[in-house]
A and B are shown apart, each in its own frame.
Chain A
């Protein structure tokens, strides 16, 4: 068993990558140091002071992923939404229309099935499927394993399509550069008020399915206002993954992101963590 992430025990629950168990260990690019905790009192029972972030391990693994991506100058975009917002349709079209400009790879997260990864492969880019089993979100550990099996080209874009869920994925840093939240016009403009954590965590909101607006009572301006209440800095783009409306601005946003990771200062090389 690896001491860094505990792979090998039941911790991964039913999580699989492209149908297989998470096995390799190359993702442990962490040079770990023991906690410098202090023991207080000598008698028993003892009090051990920790002040430790419960998400600390995920954050550590996410930082290792981030370092790995920085070395490859890869822009990583984590797409989050409720089920049915059109993430996969958007990604398939984005992959098809941008793959000639720069390398693209996709990690698909779902509780079950590999249908989404197949849709992306059909669009002509490499994709890997993570099935989270009972879990409702992707975490940094799963991403660390998934990229071992993905041929990540330098200076490209890695899209991660998270499990359709507007709650849990907000808490888990995967090592991405940006979280992008997709809301569709068929969902109701009050989503940002109902799930504020996700909108607070995102840098960009994509309002999808705008081609359907003439048939809906969806109030676009109110949706913008609600999103900005949850996150005053959020960028908003209106798109339709079906008609292609607004997509050029989404593509510009991706290209700007890619430029910014290319020009980021290069830090030291990470070393794979031994078992």
Chain B
């Protein structure tokens, strides 16, 4: 359940931003989660709702934007789309792939008052 740690990290970031930008309520948090990351969106939403209780993000909506996976195939010398880890290259069927995108876990923006 590292989603719990990630949610706590989110609250820490939000509180830091509140001090800088002077807001007292958060309505929406937008996240970008890559399909190849190790994060389960449902678990993250559950943890977020729990750890934000009593904070300025209580009741905020968590919107999760999915980022597609992309890898570099060393054999094809080509960037190829992949849907999950240890999926073969769609061109050659090989596994000599290097992840280029899709493993991000990022707060994109906050909607605040």
**A169-188 residues at the B interface, CB under 8 angstroms:** 170-172
Interchain residue pairs A-B with the least CB separation, the first 5: A196-B85, A168-B2, A229-B95, A54-B105, A48-B110
**Contact status A45-B113, CB under 8 Å:** yes
A50 at interface, CB cutoff 8 A = yes
Q: What are 29 contact pairs spanning A and B, CB under 8 A? A: A35-B16, A35-B17, A37-B17, A37-B20, A39-B21, A45-B113, A46-B21, A46-B23, A48-B23, A48-B112, A50-B17, A50-B108, A51-B108, A51-B109, A52-B13, A52-B106, A53-B104, A54-B6, A54-B9, A54-B10, A168-B2, A171-B2, A171-B38, A171-B105, A172-B2, A196-B85, A230-B85, A230-B86, A232-B97
CB distance from B86 to the nearest CB of A (A): 5
Distance A103 CA – B32 CA, assembled complex (angstroms): 43
B50 at interface, CB cutoff 8 A = no
**Who on chain A is nearest to B84 by CB?**
A196
CB distance from B18 to the nearest CB of A (A): 9
**Who on chain B is nearest to A196 by CB?**
B85
Chain B residues with CB below 8 A from A57, complex form: 9, 12-13
Q: Contacts A54-B10, A55-B105 known; list 7 others, CB within 8 Å.
A: A46-B111, A47-B109, A50-B107, A54-B31, A55-B9, A170-B38, A196-B86
Binding site for A on B (CB under 8 A): 1-2, 4-6, 8-10, 12-13, 16-17, 20-21, 23, 27, 31, 38, 74, 85-86, 95-99, 104-113
**Who on chain B is nearest to A141 by CB?**
B5
Distance A96 CA – B16 CA, assembled complex (angstroms): 46
Q: How large is the interface on A (under 10, 10 to 19, 20 to 34, 35 or more residues)?
A: 35 or more
**Who on chain B is nearest to A36 by CB?**
B20
Q: How many A-B residue pairs have CB under 8 A?
A: 106
**Contact status A48-B74, CB under 8 Å:** no
Distance A41 CA – B6 CA, assembled complex (angstroms): 28
Binding site for B on A (CB under 8 A): 6, 11, 34-35, 37, 39, 44-58, 134-137, 139, 167-168, 170-172, 192-193, 196-197, 200, 226, 228-230, 232
CB distance from B1 to the nearest CB of A (A): 6
**Who on chain B is nearest to A232 by CB?**
B96
Q: Which of B27, B104, B106, B108 has the most CB of A within 10 A?
A: B106
Distance A6 CA – B8 CA, assembled complex (angstroms): 11
A200 and B99 in contact, given A6-B12, A48-B17, A54-B31 (Cβ under 8 angstroms): yes
Distance A167 CA – B1 CA, assembled complex (angstroms): 9
**Who on chain B is nearest to A48 by CB?**
B110
CB distance from B4 to the nearest CB of A (A): 7
**Contact status B1-A51, CB under 8 Å:** no
